[in-house]
Amino acid sequence: MAITMIKIGTRSSPLALVQANMVKAALENVRSDIDVQIVPIKSNADWKKADGEKPLNDQEGGKGLFAKEIETQILDGTVDIGVHSAKDMASFLPEGLAIDHFLPREDARDAFISLKYQSIEDLPEGSVIGTCSPRRQSFFLEKHPDCNVVPFRGNVQTRLDKVRDGQVDATFLAMAGIKRLGIDDPMIKPFAVEEMLPAAGQGAVCIETKPDDAEIRMILDEVNCTRTRLSVVAERAVLQILDGSCQTPIAAHSVFDGDTMTLKAKIGDLQGQNQHISEMSALVKTSEEAASLGRKVGEELKAQ
């Protein structure tokens, strides 16, 4: 029987809903005969965020906690697919699930957000920086060990409002979310990729499915961006080799020149010390080749 409806599971934050609607529009563009419905799901991590500023730790599920309820509903058939920010996905997915489909990648850079200062170089000693990202904390403290980092949560607009209210001197946000939400604010100053290497998958919207849902996966093939998929496969392979958790400061970012992928990855500690970098290039046309490059970069970092 041909599929007549696809239910998309998504978090209920403004950005998550924008991303789910992007997938909905892409599907409706290629299959006008299918009714695509969005099902907002409040995750355990969203409840924890609402309760306070304490960072989520590995024992609580880390970044995978944001996807857990959605994944449960995919597996039990309540929804057909899940839409996520690829950077929020755990290194290893639950058995019976896969992320093989992606929308074209948005801007992967981070941005420096401050009402008082134009760049991190302008921050005086003792400045208070808000972030719950171990990666951003580590890479920032590497260059500015004289500043203080405090936990800082909330959706994109909430964090911008907190900076404007003076709760912290500065924070960091992903440019992809800022652009997708259509936010234009003078406090936002994008980093170059080299200044703050992005998280694996940053800027990419991924679609999670059950591998045995052949018909749905064939439909998703029609909206999939192959180059984004190859990039994210390579970057996530680095995480898998390093067994990167939500509390491990790891970055991985790839760029293409023709069919040649250059993959750069970095790992450090929460104090901004013991930083290590690996960079390799290879011809990449398949997911297997992308994963192989990611594993090699990860192994070199692991050896360091």
Catalytic annotation, residues? 88
Residue 244, both tokens = 């990167």
Strand residues in the chain grouped as ranges (E): 5-10, 35-40, 81-85, 98-102, 110-113, 128-130, 148-150, 170-174, 188-190, 205-209, 250-257, 260-267, 276-283
How large is the greatest C-alpha to C-alpha distance in the chain, in angstroms? 65
What is the sign, positive or negative, of the torsion defined by CA atoms of 58, 63, 69, 74? negative
* Contact (Cβ atoms closer than 8 angstroms) between residue 240 and residue 301: no
Contact between 215 and 3 (Cβ < 8 Å):
yes
User: Contact at 8 Å (CB) between 165 and 186?
Assistant: no
In DSSP notation, 198-249 reads PPTTTT-EEEEE-TT-HHHHHHHHTT--HHHHHHHHHHHHHHHHHT--TTS-
Q: Which amino acid is at 222?
A: E
Amino acid identity of residue 34, one-letter, is I
Contact criterion met (CB below 8 Å) for 232 and 204: yes
Q: Which two tokens stand for residue 230?
A: 């190859």
The β-bridge relationship of strands 276-283 and 260-267 is antiparallel
